[in-house]
Structure 1
Amino acid sequence: MKKALLFLTAICFMSCKEIIVEKDLVVKTNEDKFVFASWAHARGTFDASKWETKLASYDSLGISELLIGGSPEFYEKLIPLASEKNIKIHAWMWTLNRPNDTIANKHPEWYAVNRAGKNSLEYRAYVDYYQWLSPFHPDARAHIKNNVRRLSKIEGLASIHLDYVRYVDVILGKDLQPKYNLVQSTEMPEYDYGYHPIAREGFKAIFGKDPQDFDHPELSTEWRQYRLNAVSSLVNELVKIAHDSNQKMTAAVFPFPEMSRQMVRQAWDDWNLDAAYPMVYNNFYRENVNWIGFAIEQGVNDVNFPLYAGLYSPALADPKDLEKAIRLVKEKGAQGVSIFTADNLSKEQKAVFIKLKEEFNDE
């Protein structure tokens, strides 16, 4: 009798073990699935038939996640439709750059200030929609937190996706500078932001120096880090708000942390994100496709959360380049790609998505 019981116990143990192993394999497969995503725009009032057509198109390309800008009401209508196609919806939120923000516009003191003493509501660097709030002003920070709280109430979001969570570009990409008749061999005062009076006062209280008086502020590692910390602390507070509501927090970021620090004062390797989407737009920097893999590899080595490579479709118009880029970022450790945007893909580019969707899903 004892032998029979031991035999049955052993069989039961082995069966349970097989079930557990099988379950773990399924979970691992889901986690390791390479994701195809796209940024998208809401554009106008919600039209269910239009979005059913768009979702079907995304689904045919293997796109299973959308990072889309819109109102809470828009998301509440879109999420049920998207779930029918097993497409996840992320709420794409412009964070510190807030063009035409009717609440913020009433408070000029909330806006970022450059080294020339001009605030971002009055002087708009590069383009008119650059209207940046200061991460140092407590009321501006509170306003941004309220924006996250509103999104946190939406059920079914894949994440709240932060964008423009940095300073104005102190240095533009090489390919962008000629478009503004610029040669940015130095950090020019009109594009060097973070000089809000609150920032200067706080820095002076610690170091006894006003950064406005520096002959070469770009050489002060303390002043750079002080500004980096203001954005990082804001992001991590936003992450906590999201997590307290059982929402995930992701962000679109510059290509890799060291580059981000230099170009836009963004230390995203200090952030408590659930995932990041480095925008490895190689043509902005006059770099080849191999650079995309290099940039992703740096990020993978610097952070302990998943990365999804942001690809710029016009830079990869040649379908061979697009395929090479996707394969490279997968090889370098990214969990997926997000294209800007799937709506603008050519027939040949779409064929690449379909091909790789089928190939990667069979792995």
Structure 2
Amino acid sequence: MRKSVWLALSNVYRTIGYEKALKQLFDAGIEEVYPIVATGGGTFYPSKYRPQHKEFEGKDIVTPFVKEAKKHGIKVHPWIVCMNFSHPKYVEQHKDLYVVSKEGVSCVDSPPYVPYYKWLCPSREENKENLANIFVEVASNFDVDGVHFDYIRLPDVILPKGLRSKYEGVPDEDVILPKFDFCYCNVCRRLFKEEYGVDPMKLKIVEPMYGKWFRWRADRITEIVKYVYRKVKNYDSSIEVSAAVFATPKLAYEYVFQDWPSWDIDLYNPMIYHKYYAHDHTWIGDAVREGVLKGVNLSAGMLIGFFEAKEHVAEAVKLSEENGAVGVTFFVYPPPRPELVEWIKESLKPYK
């Protein structure tokens, strides 16, 4: 079984330090890490394609981490935030490349849900090319075993059930509101109209054509993934391409336009964060089964801070394996409570 964590690189850099963190992870049985190297606020290394995070301008905090991981024999899959990019300078210079709601409002002017929800439009060739360049840049700059998609989607048209009460104006039911429905920029509207003869801005959600419009947008995300995948594999076919995706194929498609079983990448890490969906930890096994039935390699993503007992972590890992997962990926290291590292260690002991 593959044993991995998503790792908050800047947090580790500022607090624990790479050597201590990687030793702790190695001792816990972790064999692979997904360190975040490009966030919605900028990169953690000097990039040709996106501005650096303001805290680390001129610094490369990725290379020393990769070197330290290799000392422990831990595989590294840099984690890249894709379509959600809120760096102020970039947003200001490229406002026309961001998504627009059904109300005709740019997410730059009125971000849905939270202030950093500024999303690049998946129909734009510039955005697709930029993302491919970043992935190849990371693959070529660092001694990596893989590269990892995150936020490879549109904004949530429907929020997971457990999150709805936290945000103003979000209905309790699975309904689509115009202010959360993206993207209706001029390019998306023109391309869809050329294909179907209809301006999507005029479609009502109950119309059958709206289903085609929904599918059309999901296909734009799929196109980006396949394009980036080809670029990475052309650079080095041995580099694994993986993605953090929503919990199940059905929820991912209906909530964030991810038709992830059709992406044909090497590994999927569905974020089966059970409390967001108003379930207990045993739902993780059900979600894994739904994904595995699509014929994909899947490492079950678990939000470690949601667990209330170490036995629950062990049970979730066991359920994942029994339902066909090839691994587990814990979010996030460093964890919110120090004892959680020990819980992870205990849960992985049977799989050494």
Query: Cα distance 1:47–1:180, how it changes in 2: closer, same or farther (>3 A)?
Result: closer
Aligned counterpart, 1:35: 2
Aligned counterpart, 1:206: 195
Task: Describe the superposition over 1:191-218 as per-residue Cα deviations: whole angstroms up to 9, x where unpaired.
Answer: 1112121111111111111111012267
| TM-score normalised by the chain length of structure 1 | 0.85
| TM-score normalised by the chain length of structure 2 | 0.87
**Alignment partner of 1:194 out of 183, 191, 214:** 183
Task: Describe the superposition over 1:210-243 as per-residue Cα deviations: whole angstroms up to 9, x where unpaired.
Answer: 1110122675221111101100001100001111
Aligned counterpart, 1:284: 276
- Aligned to 2:325, the other structure's residue is in SS state coil
Aligned counterpart, 1:216: 205
**Alignment partner of 1:339 out of 323, 326, 330:** 330
State the AA in 2 paired with 1:67: Y
- Aligned to 1:294, the other structure's residue is in SS state helix
Greater shift, 85-94 or 153-162, is seen at 153-162
Q: Report if the CA contact (8 A) 1:292-1:329 is conserved.
A: yes
Q: Distance in 2 between matches of 1:84 and 1:290?
A: 36
Q: Distance in 1 between matches of 2:323 and 2:343?
A: 19
How big is the shift at 1:303? 3.2
- Aligned to 1:309, the other structure's residue is in SS state strand
Which sections of structure 1, spanning at least 5 residues, go unmatched?
1-33
Rg comparison, structure with higher value: 1
How big is the shift at 1:345? 5.8
Q: Report if the CA contact (8 A) 2:269-2:299 is conserved.
A: yes
The reply to whether residue 111 of structure 1 matches residue 98 of structure 2 is: yes
Q: Report if the CA contact (8 A) 2:11-2:334 is conserved.
A: no
Q: Distance in 2 between matches of 1:47 and 1:349?
A: 20
**Alignment partner of 1:248 out of 240, 251, 260:** 240
Query: Cα distance 1:216–1:307, how it changes in 2: closer, same or farther (>3 A)?
Result: same
Q: Report if the CA contact (8 A) 1:120-1:133 is conserved.
A: no
State the AA in 1 paired with 2:243: A
Query: Cα distance 1:105–1:62, how it changes in 2: closer, same or farther (>3 A)?
Result: farther
Percent of aligned pairs sharing the same letter:
25
How big is the shift at 1:101? 6.1
Aligned counterpart, 2:28: 61
Aligned counterpart, 2:298: 307
State the AA in 2 paired with 1:38: V
Task: Describe the superposition over 1:313-349 as per-residue Cα deviations: whole angstroms up to 9, x where unpaired.
Answer: 1221221221111110011111111111131164554
Task: Describe the superposition over 1:132-165 as per-residue Cα deviations: whole angstroms up to 9, x where unpaired.
Answer: 0000112222222222221121342121111000
The reply to whether residue 180 of structure 1 matches residue 167 of structure 2 is: yes
- 1:1-363 aligned at under 5 Å gives the runs 34-43=1-10, 50-70=17-37, 71-72=44-45, 73-100=60-87, 102-181=89-168, 182-185=170-173, 186-216=175-205, 219=208, 220-246=210-236, 247-304=239-296, 306-344=297-335, 346=337, 348-361=339-352
State the AA in 2 paired with 1:294: D
How big is the shift at 1:310? 0.7
Q: Alpha carbon RMSD of aligned pairs, Å?
A: 2.0
Q: Report if the CA contact (8 A) 2:8-2:332 is conserved.
A: no
Q: Distance in 1 between matches of 2:14 and 2:116?
A: 27
Structure with the bigger percentage of helix: 1
Q: Report if the CA contact (8 A) 1:94-1:162 is conserved.
A: yes
Q: Report if the CA contact (8 A) 1:217-1:223 is conserved.
A: no
Query: Cα distance 1:308–1:218, how it changes in 2: closer, same or farther (>3 A)?
Result: farther
Q: Distance in 2 between matches of 1:205 and 1:193?
A: 19
Q: Report if the CA contact (8 A) 1:136-1:196 is conserved.
A: no
Q: Distance in 1 between matches of 2:152 and 2:259?
A: 10
Q: Distance in 1 between matches of 2:118 and 2:337?
A: 33
Q: Report if the CA contact (8 A) 1:195-1:212 is conserved.
A: yes
Aligned counterpart, 1:30: none
State the AA in 2 paired with 1:109: D
- Aligned to 2:10, the other structure's residue is in SS state coil
Query: Cα distance 1:184–1:119, how it changes in 2: closer, same or farther (>3 A)?
Result: farther
